[in-house]
Amino acid sequence: MTALLNLEAYRRLAQRRLPRIVFDYIEGGADDESGIRRNREALDALLLDPARLTDVSARDLSATLAGARSAAPLVVAPMGLNGACRPDGDVMLARAAARAGIPFTLSTASNVALAEVARRAGGRLWFQLYVVQREHARALVKGALSAGYEALVLTTDVTVNGRRERDLRNGFAVPLRLTPRIVADAALHPAWTIRQCRHGLPTLPNVDGGVDGGADAGAQAALLQRRMDASFCWDDLAALRDMWPRKLYVKGILNARDAARCVALGADGVIVSNHGGRQLADLAAPISVLPEVVAAVGGAQTLVDSGFRNGRDVVKALALGARAVMLGRPLLYGLAARGETGVDEVLAMFVADIDRTLALLGCPDVVSLGQGRYIRNSL
């Protein structure tokens, strides 16, 4: 197989391998997609600042995440419907994460049930919670606890579903509806179609009887339409904290005020994110608000995502005080392009890039990166 030299090559291959409706679901953003562009522009505007003549002959990329050592400052972001890229995509991503020595986050909207992923994948598992119904959410949290998930990630930026024009144009829905246009598109992607026919189209087992006491037709319909319980608020976060004894991260935070409140309620960390530009276009790029959040959370951990496409981007976030970066679409490009091997390759590319960047910056380890040098804000 030919070597793919950068993420853009995986992205293009993924685009060729997937029907348009699936690629657009992964790639698309909210509204006019300006949030996606802003995420990139903010990262590109930052420049690094090297320290010369330091000993970087041995470099250490490891970081402490959720109380345990991670081989690299990376986490697989929660993504719903990974099975649309490849059947069993959730397990493939989790296994690749385990091989890379980093945590994997399973979405509530996964296509493999949370207990099954724990049984089959191994490695360090985090569970991302969408609250569609409180009773159902409690059942999921209990299920994640007994299946051994080490951290819970509460996503807070999907009170309602963002408006994604690509999905509207393509007639995207879960479960996928077989319209004549989609059937014609599938015919142009026979490898994808054969795989999906063999396994059956993806379902949502975490809301479909996959969790004891959690099977509920109302919850399933709500998640299918990404219709969340929009009344979930700070008191509910406090109750969730009481229910979940392990590490708790709150995802979708974009300012110091909310970050400080999460930590005051007992969260172990926050994830600065605009959902990869998929929910509301006119939000700050997470990298631009990262320093204010880091300053607000004190000793708690700050993770960040949205728009990170190479190891230099990751190094910039760490230099601004993030503990780790969550990767979303890049891993789906790898998955769609080359299956589990593709995910291994993309993760390896990120790790090699972080390592090379550390050496070229004169920084021996990722912990030193967070000490406030190595970044030059060019704005």
Ligand X SMILES: Cc1cc2nc3c(=O)[nH]c(=O)nc-3n(C[C@H](O)[C@H](O)[C@H](O)COP(=O)(O)O)c2cc1C
Instruction: Say if CB 125 and CB 118 are below 8 A apart.
Output: yes
Nearer to ligand X, 46 or 77 (CB): 77
Q: Which of 136, 189, 199, 275 is catalytic?
A: 275
Provide the token pair at 345.
């390759």
- Name residues contacting ligand X, limited to 78-137 (CB under 6 A): 78-80, 107, 109, 128
Could you give the angle at which helices 180-187 and 190-199 cross, rounded to 10 degrees?
110
Q: Which of 4, 14, 18, 26 binds ligand X (CB under 6 A)?
A: 26
- Rounded to 5 degrees, what are φ and ψ at 124? -95, 120
Nearer to ligand X, 80 or 370 (CB): 80
Distance CA 92, CA 341 (A): 9
Q: Which residue has the tokens 């059942």?
A: 139
CA distances from residue 92 to 140, 172, 186, 246 in whole angstroms, order as listed: 22, 24, 22, 25
- Stretch of 11-19, 56-64, 71-79, 314-322 lying at the interface with ligand X (CB under 6 A): 71-79
CA distances from residue 312 to 114, 200, 305, 320 in whole angstroms, order as listed: 33, 39, 14, 13
Nearer to ligand X, 43 or 363 (CB): 43
- Shortest separation between residue 275's beta carbon and ligand X, angstroms: 5
Span between the terminal Cα atoms of the chain, in Å:
42
- Rounded to 5 degrees, what are φ and ψ at 6? -155, 170
> Which amino acid is located at 160 in the chain?
V
- Shortest separation between residue 274's beta carbon and ligand X, angstroms: 8
- Stretch of 54-62, 190-198, 299-307, 337-345 lying at the interface with ligand X (CB under 6 A): 299-307
Helix or strand or coil: residue 238? helix
The answer to whether 275 is a known catalytic residue is yes
Q: Which of 143, 205, 307, 311 binds ligand X (CB under 6 A)?
A: 307
What is the Rg, in whole angstroms, of the alpha carbon atoms belonging to the chain? 20
Distance CA 178, CA 67 (A): 45
Helix or strand or coil: residue 88? coil
- Shortest separation between residue 305's beta carbon and ligand X, angstroms: 4
Nearer to ligand X, 77 or 366 (CB): 77
- Stretch of 10-18, 112-120, 320-328, 341-349 lying at the interface with ligand X (CB under 6 A): 320-328
308 makes contact with ligand X (CB under 6 A): yes
- Shortest separation between residue 252's beta carbon and ligand X, angstroms: 7
Q: Which of 185, 216, 268, 305 binds ligand X (CB under 6 A)?
A: 305
Other residues' Cβ atoms within 10 Å of the Cβ of residue 245: 9
Nearer to ligand X, 13 or 56 (CB): 13
- Stretch of 58-66, 75-83, 113-121, 190-198 lying at the interface with ligand X (CB under 6 A): 75-83
Burial annotation 183-208 (CB, 10 A radius, 16+ → b, else e): eebbeebeebeebbeeeeebbbbbbb
- Rounded to 5 degrees, what are φ and ψ at 225? -95, 10
Nearer to ligand X, 317 or 363 (CB): 317
306 makes contact with ligand X (CB under 6 A): yes
Site string for ligand X, 274-293 (x = CB under 6 A): -xx-x---------------
Q: Which of 112, 327, 349, 361 binds ligand X (CB under 6 A)?
A: 327
Q: Which residue has the tokens 């994808």?
A: 192
Q: Which of 111, 133, 155, 357 binds ligand X (CB under 6 A)?
A: 155
- Stretch of 60-68, 93-101, 134-142, 325-333 lying at the interface with ligand X (CB under 6 A): 325-333
Name the CA dihedral angle for 151, 158, 293, 61, rounded to a multiple of 10 degrees. 50
206 makes contact with ligand X (CB under 6 A): no
- Stretch of 73-81, 117-125, 289-297, 355-363 lying at the interface with ligand X (CB under 6 A): 73-81
> Which amino acid is located at 266 in the chain?
G
Question: For residue 95, what are the contacts with CB-CB under 8 A and spacing of at least 6?
Answer: 121, 122, 123, 340
- Name residues contacting ligand X, limited to 224-253 (CB under 6 A): 251
Give the residue numbers marked as catalytic.
Answer: 275
In the complex, which residues of this chain contact ligand X (CB under 6 A)? 26, 77-80, 107, 109, 128, 155, 251, 273, 275-276, 278, 305-308, 326-329
